[in-house]
Amino acid sequence: MDFGTVGSVITQWWSKVADGFSRGAPLEVAWPVLLLIAAAAAALTVPRPVWRWFGLFVTFVHELGHAFAALMTGQVVKGIELRFDHSGQMRSMGRSRFAAAWTGFWGYPVPAVTGALLVWAAFSGWAGFALSAGALVLLAALLFIRNAQGLLIACGCAAVSVMLVWFATPFAVSCITLAVGIALLAGAVRDWLNVLSVHTRRRRSLQSSDAYILYQRTGVPSALWLAAFAAVITASVAAALWWARPAAGWLS
């Protein structure tokens, strides 16, 4: 493949990305299709063998949440590390006490917030926008990965998003956006239950808990941070259900 062909492929892909930023048709499907989409989301998050892989994406979103929160407070993101055991770390510079708390908080809630927004996008005609924006974010995030395992995980996530932009039809994009949104919501709940178990049954792993790290930095008890995580996750689930209710026929 010569450089001209590569340039042509990139141009075509970018054209598809740009096309995604326009509003399309809202997702309208019958109950059986909605159930199939929900089942697909459950298949990504419930079976342990599948969660082993999809959970890496949830961790990636978790760490990107920390990174965006750091940028919001004027910090410099130094790098992101991801590992195959679903752990990760985001490093930044320029932290005040507030900035450290803000950055540390937006890890566990962000997959849920993202999931709710994806549900909204699917039912409001912005699924293409979500896919195009997500693909660009995942590609840009490659610049911040600082370990080999993280590079493999990030490249895999970015590759999937690039292929979806290239090959998926608008209807498929809406269905996939909804399924991933539901899966991220479920993944956020699963991760919160996991961090709760760290504080109740696996206290030897406390150093890995964002809630415990926030307690060390602020003096606010870990239980309050866990409750705050849960509140945002619960609100995200409620918002997703609210946005989905017309499509599901709950108004009739």
d(CA 111, CA 191): 10
Q: What is the pLDDT along the chain (252 residues), one digit of tens a residue?
A: 566 676 787 888 888 888 888 899 999 888 888 999 999 999 999 999 999 999 999 999 999 999 999 999 999 999 999 999 999 999 998 768 899 999 999 999 999 999 999 999 999 999 999 999 999 999 999 999 999 999 999 999 999 999 999 899 999 999 999 999 999 999 999 999 999 999 998 888 788 899 999 999 999 999 999 999 999 999 999 999 999 887 655 544
Q: DSSP letter string over 178-233?
A: HHHHHHHHHHHHHHHHHHHHHHHT-GGGGGG-HHHHHHHHH---HHHHHHHHHHHH
d(CA 53, CA 39): 17
Query: pTM of this prediction?
Result: 0.93
